[in-house]
Structures are given as C-alpha cells and as structure tokens.
Amino acid sequence: MGACPHAWQHHLPHRGRMWAASPAFRRQLFLLRSLAPTCVDGGRVSSSSLRLHAMSAAPAAAGPVYEADAEAVVRRITPPLDRARHKGQAGKIAIIGGCREYTGAPYFAAISALKVGADLSHVFCTKDAATVIKSYSPELIVHPILEESYSVRDDERESVSSSILTEVIKWMERFDCIVVGPGLGRDSFLMDCVSNIMRHARQANIPTVVDGDGLFLITNNIGLVEDNSLAILTPNVYEYKRLVQKVLNCEVNEENASEQLTALCEKIGGVTIMRKGKADLISDGKKVTQVSTFGSPRRCGGQGDILSGSVAVFSSWAWHFLSSNEQPKENSVNPMVLGCIAGSLLLRKAAALAFEKNKRSTVTTDIIEFLGQSLEDICPAGR
C-alpha cells in the first residue's frame, strides 16, 4: 500500500478504477472502516465476543441447541456513532410490500428499521398503498411502483413487469438489505413482479429477509432462495408448517425440532431460518441457536414486521462488520445468523418494556417506541 493510501487503485484495470472512485464504493469503504471492532485479536474478531453457550438441557436425540449470548452479539455488531459519519452510512433498508388491503405491515417494518438505527428506509408498494403509508410517517421514502392484476391489462403485463423491475434496479445497489413480504398480499401478478426483484437482489448480493406473504411466495417457488447464503426466512408456526410440508414432505416434529430445522436449512441450501416461537430457533444448517429471553404475553399482530425490519438492519451491520475483519474459515460466523439473534433479542426486550407500561392494551406501535431504549440499554450510544 505504501505511503499513498489509494496507491492500490492504480493496479486495478480501468473499470476497477472507475468503481473504486465511485460514490457507492467510497460509502462501502467508509462503512467497513467505521464498523471496525474496538477489541480484536490479531486483527480478527475474537470468537469469544460472538460466543454461543451450549444448553445441556437439550435432548441429545434432537441435536444440540445453543443459547446465544445475544447481548454480546448486539454490542459487537452495532456500529459506534461518530461525528464524521454522514447520511446512509449506518444502513439503507428497503421493504418490498404493501398493497391496497395491507398498509400497516410495511410501515411497521420500515419504521422499525429506522428506530433500530438505519439512516434511510424505503418502501416499494402499490400505488393504492403509497399515499396511506406516506401519511403514517414523513420519515419513510415511499415508491408507488408495484401493480396488482386488477390494474393491468393482460396485453400490458410483460411491459409493466419490465418497467417495475427497471425502476427497482435503479435503487437496488444503494441498499444494504431488503425485506420482502410485509403486506405484500397474494395477487399473482404482484407475486411475479416481486419474484423478479428477488432474483435481481440475489444477483447483486443484497441480503434479503423474507417474511409474511413473501414466505407464501417462496414456499411455492423455493428456487428464489435456494442456495442463497444471504437469504433469511422468518416463519411463524403456520408458515413454518407449510415450509416443512413443502420442502421435507412431512409434518412438523416438535420432539426433534432442532434436527428438523437443520434438515430444512440443508435441503433449501445455505439459507438462514428463524423459526419464531416461545424461543426463536435460528439455523443456517450447521447449528441451531436459540434466543429465549422472555418478551411479552401480549401477542398483538405486527410484531413479526418489527422483527423483519430489525433483523434487516442487524444483518447488514453484521455482514459489513465481519467483512471488515477477515477470519479463518473454520472460525467464520454467519452474519445472517448474528442479525437474527440481535433482532430477536431487541424485539423481546422492547415488547417486555411496552407490556410493563401498557399491559393488555399494548399494540405494535407501543413496542416500536421502545426499540430505541432497548438498544440503548444493551449498547449505549456514548460507549
């Protein structure tokens, strides 16, 4: 590297030098540097800082389950705040969802991403949903570009689908993670358009969280996430049941829950799955981790949307953090798993605080308001 910090650029081919000089590259480089750990061993992330504790109570026949040291994960991957940063460097998240019937879910996911600490949050939704979602908050950047079958003639479908993909592609390289599914609905034309968006995100190596109706989409088209190590699925009990039936061709087996989850991840290939429940079980096919911190007995709708937005932010932070700290392959940690661990813990802590204050009247917006305090309690901004 020599005395000139940018001398390495001169050894790149012409196209490489153009990319190295681009704003997108500079943003990524700054983000990688700003996420550098405060304490590393020989330039590598200490494995103890991201440790998982084995649970001796797990049944041997079901395979081992590891209880994550979730607070340590949150502290390690959350980037420090400093005055040299500018807008966008703490994360840019996009939600793909929202139709005329469902406008709350994409809002919950998008605003949760901001409350966790992302700088920018976008929503790509149908025209019918856009005005409603914009009215919820001026903080969100809303793109009314998706279409449903009722608004598109049969002879227009191909051109409209192509136009939608072209518009999304204009923005795609800016995003650190996308969330597919909140409030998406199940319109066939809309599903086809979102499938194209997912394929492009995969080609562009954009981490993708799939939740809600996005899980309905991929259950019927596993190829959209197959062998994608940057994909995260967050099914609830019913969505998980459909995935197991479709992929493993059997019923959910609670006695061998960890073994079955591992098999499901392996069968799909490379994906990370968070099976939501009393304890969230998380696996990428290599091991099963759980977060069992108690949240709230109040099960109001919308908590899954908070989770998907939170996981998107933490996964992007973890991905950039680990990219800036090369580790030996045998000690590598999956950043998507870390994102799930952190998102799970934060939601549970926020839900507990909201319930403590509001009891039976707790709703999703109450929980969202406690995301910031929950993160501050674990990882103070002034650390």
pLDDT digits (tens, 9 = 90+) for 241-263: 999 999 999 999 999 999 999 99
DSSP secondary structure, 145-188, as one string: EE--GGGS-GGGHHHHHHHHHHHHHHHHTT-SEEEE-TT----H
Nearest-angstrom CA–CA distance, 183 and 95: 10
What pLDDT is stored for residue 82 in this prediction?
78
Provide the H-helix boundaries in 233-381.
Answer: 237-247, 257-268, 303-323, 335-358, 364-369, 371-378
Positions of the chain with pLDDT lower than 70, given as ranges: 1-62, 84-88, 326-331, 383
Are the C-beta atoms of 281 and 288 separated by less than 8 Å?
Answer: yes
302 in a known ligand binding site: yes
Has 136 been labeled as part of a binding site? no
CB atoms within 10 A of CB 177: 28
Contacts of 207 (CB under 8 A, 6+ apart): 176, 177, 178, 230, 231, 232, 312, 315, 316, 319, 336, 339
pLDDT at 22: 45
pLDDT for res 42: 33
Q: Is 270 annotated as a binding residue?
A: no
pLDDT score at 47: 43
Instruction: Tell me: is residue 127 an annotated ligand-binding position.
Output: no
Residue 236 marked in a binding site: yes
> 297 a known binding residue?
yes
- 339 known ligand binder: no
- pLDDT tens for 63-93 read 789 999 999 999 999 998 877 665 657 899 9
**Two tokens, residue 176:** 């650190």
Coil, strand or helix: which one is 67?
strand
* Fold entry, domain 7-378: UDP-N-acetylmuramoyl-L-alanine:D-glutamate ligase (3.40.1190)
Instruction: Report whether 192 belongs to an annotated binding site.
Output: no
Q: Is position 44 annotated in a ligand binding site?
A: no
Q: What does pTM read for this prediction? A: 0.85
Q: Say whether 212 counts as a known binding-site residue.
A: no
The answer on whether 221 is annotated among ligand-binding residues is no
Task: Provide the residue ranges of all domains of the chain, joining segments of one domain with +.
Answer: 7-378
Which residue matches tokens 């926020």? Answer: 350
Query: Does 75 show up as a binding residue in the annotation?
Result: no
- Is 183 labeled as ligand-binding? yes
Q: Is 304 annotated as a binding residue?
A: yes
Q: Which pair of structure tokens corresponds to residue 12?
A: 């790149």
Residue 383 corresponds to which tokens in the numbers above?
Answer: 């650390």
**pLDDT score of 87:** 66
Q: How many residues are there in the chain? A: 383
Instruction: Name residues whose C-beta falls within 8 Å of residue 168's C-beta, 6 or more positions apart in sequence.
Output: 124, 145, 197, 200
Strand, helix or coil for residue 107: helix
Is 237 marked as a binding-site residue? Answer: yes
Is 102 part of any known ligand binding site? no
> In this structure, what token pair is assigned to residue 354?
């909201």
In the block, which residue shows the tokens 């809600």? 212
Q: Name the nearest CA neighbour of 209 among 133, 282, 287.
A: 282
In the prediction, which pLDDT does 63 show? 74
- Is 185 annotated as a binding-site member? no
241 is in an annotated binding site: yes
